[in-house]
Amino acid sequence: MDHEDGLLRSVALQNANAILLARQRAEEELLRIKEALRESQERLTAALTAAGTGTFRWNIQTNTVEWDGNLDRLFGLESERTAQSLDVFIAAVHPDDRAAVIRSCEESARLGADFEMEFRVLRSDGAIRWIHDKAKAFCDDDGHPLYLTGACADITSRKEAAEALRDSEQRLRAIFNQAAVGIAVAALDGRFVETNTKFSDILGYSAAELQGLTFTDITRPDDLPETEAAVRQLLAGTISAYSLEKR
């Protein structure tokens, strides 16, 4: 009997040790997963910060919004002192863009639809930033909208570059149209693509008529060989520009 009791105690002890070992391994695996998740979150946060992007989640059922610190910085909010709510989010939007943002939010909440739009935010320091907001809607099995999750990216630099390009194009267009000399843009085959008013005045053709012609059509036959030779050198890269007098 004592032998059997000892055997039972030995088996019980082995089982207990096995359970403890399994629990220890499970705890170690859980810690490893948590650490990997933390590192992954840190990398994601760093990448989003570097990209000037903040993320948010809007629970449509409770009408509550949560966002990360990047969005606080993007919108110029003080994360320690600002409660997160849809009203706070909307209030940060530039007054001129606010109505459009509200309409998009209401439509997404009603239909459970994704949305994507660009708008401005007016920060507390007075700075205006352009935002690209893209969100995906999630619905239950019956199609009722549950929440939206999305990201807001700072696209101010892109907007400013596009505006600068438009301004530059407008200035060049004004110079082109108002120049005191004739200017023409031609395709590689010599066909006129665009001409200014002075060019039309000099040649006596309208802009529409010139678009159906090439430089050979407006050059006197005696001067054509010299012109064609200069154009061939230009297209071949032998010369970068040419100047000549012709009729």
pLDDT tens figures, 23-64: 666 566 656 656 555 554 545 454 445 456 899 999 998 989
The angle at the Cα of 217, spanning 214 to 220, to the nearest 5 degrees, equals 135
Half-sphere exposure for 34 (CA within 13 Å, toward CB):
6
Same fold, 51-155 and 161-236: yes
Domain-wise residue ranges, the chain:
1-50, 51-155, 161-236
Residue 117 tokens read as 């739009």
Specify the pTM: 0.62
Lowest model confidence (mean pLDDT) among 16-20, 74-78, 98-102, 209-213: 16-20
Give the whole-angstrom CA distance, residue 130 versus residue 118.
7
pLDDT in tens, 165-203: 999 889 988 888 888 888 888 888 888 888 888 888 888
* Average confidence score pLDDT of the chain: 81
How is domain 51-155 classified at the CATH fold level?
Beta-Lactamase (3.30.450)
Q: Are strands 64-67 and 128-139 parallel, antiparallel or unpaired?
A: unpaired
> Are 21 and 28 a contacting pair, CB within 8 Å?
no
- Is the pLDDT at 67 greater than 50? The verdict is yes
Query: Band of the pLDDT at 226, cuts 50, 70, 90?
Result: confident
Q: Which of 206, 168, 212, 203 is nearest to 182 (CA)?
A: 203
Element (H, E) at 139: strand 128-139
CATH of domain 161-236: 3.30.450.20
- How far does CA 192 lie from the centroid of its chain? 37
Of 38, 19, 112, 127, give the one whose Cα is nearest residue 75. Answer: 127
Report whether 145 contacts 128 (CB < 8 A).
Answer: no
Task: Please tell me the predicted confidence (pLDDT) of residue 121.
Answer: 95
Cβ–Cβ < 8 Å for 203, 210: yes
pLDDT band at 96 (very low <50, low <70, confident <90, very high): very high
Rounded CA-CA distance 205/136 in Å is: 56
Nearest to 86 by CA among 121, 62, 119, 51: 62
Q: What separation, in Å, do the N-terminal and C-terminal C-alpha atoms of the chain show?
A: 128
Question: Of 182, 153, 186, which is closest to residue 73 (Cα–Cα)?
Answer: 153
Main-chain phi, psi angles of 152, to 5 degrees: -115, 125
Task: Give residue 15's pLDDT.
Answer: 60
